[in-house]
Amino acid sequence: MLFHLDLDAFFISVERILDPSLEGKPVIVGADPKVDAYGQPHGRGVVAACSYETREFGVRSGMPVRQAYQLCPTGLFIHGSHKEYSRFSRAVKNILERYAPVLEQASIDEFYLDFTGCERIYGHPYFFASRIQAEIKRELHLPCSIGIASNKFVAKVASDYAKPEGITFVVPHQEVEFLSPLPVQAMPGVGEVTQRELNARGFYTIGQVANTSSEYFQIAFGKWGKAIHDHALGKGTEFLIPHDERHEQKSISREETYGTDTTDKRIVEKTLFELVEDVCNTLRENNWMARTVSIKLRYSDFVTLTRAQTLNKPDNDDKIIYNTAVELFRKAYTRRVSIRLIGVQLTNFCESSEQELLFSTIEEKRQKLLKSIDKIRAKYGMEIVRYGVA
């Protein structure tokens, strides 16, 4: 049997652990809505996560923060603690690895676990899921929902079925019966656009999709149509793909959208410097080095450029990464148009190893300095120590 474990409102749950006063209040993680003196929001960016209290007002993840503020003006908007999200995610994974013979981490807040053949060890899947759920709540104070089924697709639908803090067990060979009454948007991958297209063709439930020929969906939606029909029949992969953690993380990126577009290069370069500090701190926290540095530049007319450069050797030093990023920015910024967004991304990771890299005395001292600063920041926050831009 496969489990799909989904951490309920994960970002919000972590923020409430860090600040218990947020408990029970409408919380929105995302950009600042920047409300003016007349009560009108003009901030940019989108909602990264929202509490169940805000969802009653119609707020959803991915929604522009201005719209979220208009729907829920009493909501508490916070930027989020991304470093803490990663830390709690790793802690959950550590608990799951105590039990699961095979584990696949699908994202920062969801995991697939294969317990096939483990019934004699752990007992009935439903009761063992309750045990895991209780252990994560007891040790980390994080709520989660678990779906249990014969394949990944049905297990994921099942974990959403009884949120929050629910457990849904789909009996083998009963997948179609379980899925049939659910709305088509309950299928992972069916977003608003696909939902509207399906509804326009008269499909409102998964059962209606299952009772129509596969050929119809292939003609109407192409290859994606066959996948929709297969999923409606309860079909899905039964195999997990375990990954080494360093390979799961393909990139680290941060970006900043300005409340007011700017043409001041000094402001942009200062922002870029702060973004580099953040991503390099994450690199060192995971004992990684990056080979490739990329920047994203978006103008006020939404024209977006990306530029990348591969370093001579992998590195995690703020100074090296920043000098590369700022040079990419200066070469990319060729238009007399104000800037809306700047971002930095690091890719092509390898593990940091002082013995393998054979640091010179100066480099070795630099690494020790960076690690000391990271420890101070971990305790007192990023703002406590900042590097000079020059």
- The 8 Å CB, 24+ separation contacts for 127-133 are 129/3, 129/167, 129/169, 130/167, 132/3, 132/5, 132/95, 132/96, 132/99, 133/165, 133/167
Angle among Cα 154, 160, 163 to the nearest 5 degrees reads 145
Q: Rounded to 5 degrees, what are φ and ψ at 72?
A: -140, 75
Give the containing element (helix H, strand E) for 5: strand 2-7
Catalytic residue among 53, 110, 175, 277: 110
- Asked whether 317 and 370 are in contact (CB, 8 A), the reply is yes
| 238 annotated active-site | no
Residue 117 burial (CB count, 10 A)? 9
Beta-strand relationship, 288-299 and 167-169: unpaired
The residue type at 320: I
Rounded Cα–Cα distance for residues 113 and 127 (Å): 15
- Asked whether 132 and 96 are in contact (CB, 8 A), the reply is yes
The residue ranges of DSSP E strands in 15-154, in sequence order, are 27-30, 47-50, 76-78, 102-107, 110-114, 144-149
Give the containing element (helix H, strand E) for 355: helix 354-357
- Asked whether 162 and 185 are in contact (CB, 8 A), the reply is no
* DSSP 3-state of 125: helix
- Asked whether 209 and 233 are in contact (CB, 8 A), the reply is no
Rounded Cα–Cα distance for residues 388 and 390 (Å): 6
Active site residues: 110
